[in-house]
Structure 1
Amino acid sequence: MNVLVWLTAILFILMIVIGGKKGARSFLSLFINFGVLFITIFLMTNPKNSPILLTLIACTVISWISLFYINQISSKTVTAFISTMITIIILLLFIVWITDKSMLRGFGEESTEEISIFSLYIGINFVQISASVIIMSTIGAILDVAISIATSMHEILHHNPSISKKKLFTSGMSIGRDILGTDTNTLFFAFFGGYLSLLIWFKDLSYSIDEIINSKVFSTELMMIFCAGIGIALIIPITASVNAYYLIRKREKTENLS
């Protein structure tokens, strides 16, 4: 427990020293977002509640906290929020369809010991739970890409007020392409880092490559990585188009008023 307290204190001090007031808000937002996730998980245990609807509500609250509470309300955060919500809705519908078609539901033999303590009549839709897990795992990366592109496009328009909508959109896409590779790899290693012990377990049990690839746990993990990558790819053109439309329209209104 003392180690956790020290780590929390070190993180808090570093965020205050480096980020100032915004760092303090970022630190506090970690605990607020944790509370949102905890409440969402608690509500999902009730079979009457839809995991998909709960996930959408949770993502909306997390996006609001991460954008408006930390960075305050501005044109950049508003466009990033709109882009994030459009992407989340599209990705959520796509993932629900994919998880249903892939037939990756229930538990694999690797989870035999863990599920022995649970009631098998709980009534929860694990297909929708899988979709929720993927969305929750990617929301941070999606928000990061959205605010990065929105901020960059606002700066481009500020330094080049006469830029056309097409060139502004192209600039946003160019920025997004640079982010795409690094963020996709970040998600890849984050997912597989969490399952490193599982890969070691596969090796100790002398699983063949075919058995590993066809195992339910491994296939689900790969699906999460691919869906997360799709989410990162989707947010780039959506954010670029939303910002290009908003910024050029705002500029035209300003010119008409003057």
Structure 2
Amino acid sequence: MPVAVKANDNVVLASLSTNGATEWAFENYNRIGQIAILVFVFAAFVLILGGWKGMSTILSLTFTCLSLFYVYIPFLIAGYNIYAATVIICIYIIGISFIFTGGVNQKSLAAAIGCAGGVVFSGVIYRYMEAVMKLTGYYNDETSRLSQIFGQGNLNLKGVVFAMVTIGALGGTMDVAMSIASSLDEIRTEKAVTKYDLIRSGLNIGKDIMGTMANTLILAYIGSSLVMVLIYGVSNYPLFQLLNKEEIIIEMLQSLIGSLGMLFTIPFTTVVSSILFTARKEEAEPLPYRHKQQTGMKRPGGYRQ
């Protein structure tokens, strides 16, 4: 579409060489400055609201972005196994994020294990659905172009979709896992609770998280694919054929599997947290009294938990 460029507009030009002569053509507006300002505003809000925790969040986000763009993507371009690379980068992101935001402690360990369980669950579900639904990975113009650039058979497009689903599920599961682990950590420090008390509390907390997080994931994927939905909507595409298009199926899988991974993370993190948070307490308590607490037997004088 023709673009009207005015004097003093900050634009990006592309050089075109024909017969030894160089011509310059408008390619796009230069928007880096506006994005930089928005990034600065985001960082300022995080620091103002979070303080030192906000600084940890920014460092965690920085390391995550650097690992994705300067390690993960080059590995895929170099032809490394996409499944192994995706698993490794997910483990790294989980570890670095929870260490920066929560520190090295039982809470971060419980959240990391719970998050890893949710991501693994999402990956397994996708691999199963990929097999039974006979997905090819060729679902839009971008994947076809990617296949042409790398050469037929040199890039595993099924693996690319696996990476999309797994990394997409990572954000939601990390949020849920840390919320559950952090809440249970606060509960166990406020009062003496048993493993089953923590499990009951964690599941109740998870019910409140469940609705908003599921909506967040579904709406995020719908919002990102709204243009595609509008295109099919105005073209009067038959609904049955629309729901069987691989492009639509993959978008649905991303949202549904991401939500399933988040839902699985709730009970898994709850159980892991309850085990880790009560393990030391149970080890410290004398065995005869641990098994007879419910009989009304008193602790010996001077005993401290």
Q: Structure 2-normalised TM-score?
A: 0.78
Offset of residue 17 of structure 1: 0.8
Q: 1:63 aligns with which of 94, 97, 103?
A: 94
**Deviation string, structure 1 residues 138-192 (Cα, Å, up to 9, x no partner):** 111101111111111111212221x222221111111111111111110001111
Residue from 68, 71, 75 that aligns with 1:43: 75
* Shift in Å, 1:218: 0.5
Change (3 A) 1:250 1:36: same
More strand by share: 2
**Mapped partners of 2:105, 2:74: distance in 1:** 33
Whole-Å separation in 2 of the counterparts to 1:157 and 1:105: 48
Q: For residues 9-34 of structure 1, what are the alpha-carbon distances to aligned partners after superposition, in whole Å with 9 as ceiling and x for unaligned? A: 11111111111111122123222211
Moved more, 150-159 or 247-256: 247-256
Which residue of structure 2 aligns with residue 28 of structure 1?
59
Distance of aligned partners of 1:81 and 1:241 in 2 relative to their CA distance in 1, 3 Å threshold: same
1:1-258 map, 5 Å: 1-38=32-69, 39-47=71-79, 49-108=80-139, 114=145, 118-161=149-192, 163-256=193-286, 258=304
Give the length in aligned residue pairs.
256
Structure 2 vs 1, CA of residues 160 and 198 (structure 1 numbering), >3 Å: closer, same or farther?
Answer: same
CA distance in 1, matches of 2:87, 2:216: 24
User: Take 1:5 and 1:66, find their aligned partners in 2: how far apart are those partners?
Assistant: 23
Give secondary structure in 1 for the equivalent of 2:243: helix
Unaligned regions of 5+ residues in structure 2, if any?
A: 1-31, 287-302
Contact persistence 2:47–2:54 (CA under 8 A): yes
Task: Name segments (4+ residues, structure 1) moved above 6 Å.
Answer: none
Partner secondary structure for residue 172 of structure 2:
helix
Q: Structure 1 pair 32/94, CA: closer, same or farther in 2 (3 Å)?
A: same
CA distance in 2, matches of 1:116, 1:174: 47
Task: Give the percent of matched residue pairs that are identical in Structure 1 and Structure 2.
Answer: 24
Could you list the runs of 5+ residues in structure 1 that have no partner in the other structure?
A: none
CA 1:113–1:241 in structure 2 vs 1: closer, same or farther (change >3 Å)? closer
Assess if the C-alpha contact under 8 Å between 1:63 and 1:143 holds in 2.
Answer: yes
Q: Secondary structure at the match of 2:51?
A: helix
1:175-226 Cα distance to aligned partner (Å, 9 max, x none): 1111111111100011111111111221233323223212111111111111
1:122 shift after superposition = 4.6
CA–CA distance in structure 1, aligned partners of residues 180 and 144 of structure 2: 45
- The verdict on how the C-alpha distance between 1:136 and 1:123 changes in structure 2, with shifts beyond 3 A counting, is same
